Amino acid sequence: MLSAKNIAVLGVGTLGTAIISGLLKSGTIKPSQIRGTVGSTEGIKKAEAKLNAKADSVVKIATDNLAAAKDADIVILAVKPQNMAKLLETISPALNKNQLVISVAAAVSLAYLEKYLSSQIPIIRAMPNTCVSTGAGMTGLAAGAYASDNHKQVAQEIFKSVGEVVFLDEKLFNALTALSASGPAYLYVVIESLAEAGVKLGISRETATLLAAQTMLGTAKMILETGEHPALLKDSVTTPAGCTIDGLMELEEGKLRVTLIKAVVKAAQRAQELLPL
Ligand SMILES: NC(=O)c1ccc[n+]([C@@H]2O[C@H](COP(=O)([O-])OP(=O)(O)OC[C@H]3O[C@@H](n4cnc5c(N)ncnc54)[C@H](OP(=O)(O)O)[C@@H]3O)[C@@H](O)[C@H]2O)c1
């Protein structure tokens, strides 16, 4: 479905780069199908350097949003929320209802985008995480009033090529943001801490980080591939009177569970506060 589509990524920063890198790495699209934009001429070199370090061929980056949007079948809006109004004003005259607009901006609602773009433009709101650059991203999607099943499939194909995808009610986007978009930050801290433990016990930092990160990856795969409840999988690792139960008791005493729950709830509250658009 994407092989014949031109995609404009407006705002090739951290996330825009991650999406493009992931799409190219997956082989879903060729570099010639992508045009990217940034906000400044200095930004062009930065974005090209990042992308070209990761991809085999060159993706064109410019600052002309109108030109990029006009020629695209799919327009991905990946600027910061505070730059969104200006961007929408600029590209609005170039858009028509045969195109699909996908916004990845946090705190920018479908209603806001639809009001700005008007003329029944199909819009999908997406909340990916930066792991899309590795092909193991997690993206939540919500469809606007004018997005058909076909548009939903196109958006799904884009984000499926760089990880997993769920459609969910837009009302849950703050929760989604707090859990899976902010989630890598929490889990980096967990991996960093486990690696510190390894260092404390005499393992080199490099090896300790590999042990921790690969263990996190394998654990996630166990859950996704077996479909088992995490508690049951945890039980299967915990030998009676063994060492794991002692480690788990420390986690309980340190209130790991409630801390993680509170972290996600707090981040969701913050996302709600940030909701200006
Ligand atoms: N990072 C994440 O993990 C993540 C996750 C989910 C959603 N998001 C959403 O993704 C969006 C981008 O976040 P980010 O972390 O990638 O930010 P970022 O790294 O600051 O990237 C923003 C990019 O937008 C460009 N830009 C600014 N004004 C522009 C304009 N008028 N036209 C075209 N490009 C323009 C900037 O270019 P210059 O550098 O030249 O100014 C920069 O390349 C945000 O709305 C955020 O809410 C991010």
Task: For a ligand 1 pocket test, name from 80, 101, 127, 187 the mutation site with the most ligand atoms within 8 angstroms of its C-beta.
Answer: 80
Q: Which atom of ligand 1 is nearest to the CA of 79?
A: 24
Tell me, what's the pLDDT at 275? Answer: 59
Quick one: pLDDT at residue 272? 87
Kindly give the distance from the C-alpha atom of residue 16 to the centroid of ligand 1, in angstroms, as a whole number. 7
Residues with CB under 6 A from ligand 1: 10-16, 37-40, 43, 47, 65, 78-81, 83, 86-87, 104-106, 127-130, 181
Q: Which two tokens stand for residue 60?
A: 């064109």
Q: Are the CB atoms for 161 and 113 separated by under 8 Å?
A: no
- The model carries a pTM of 0.91
Query: For residue 267, what are the CA distances in angstroms to 68, 110, 165, 178, 191?
Result: 34, 21, 21, 5, 20
Spell out the domains of the chain, with CATH numbers in brackets: 7-176 (3.40.50.720), 181-273 (1.10.3730.10)
CA dist., res. 176 & res. 164, Å (int)? 13
Tell me which residue has its CA closest to atom 28 in ligand 1: 39
> How many A from CA of 39 to the centre of ligand 1?
9
| Confidence check: pLDDT of 273 > 90 | no
Residue 56 has pLDDT above 80, yes or no: no
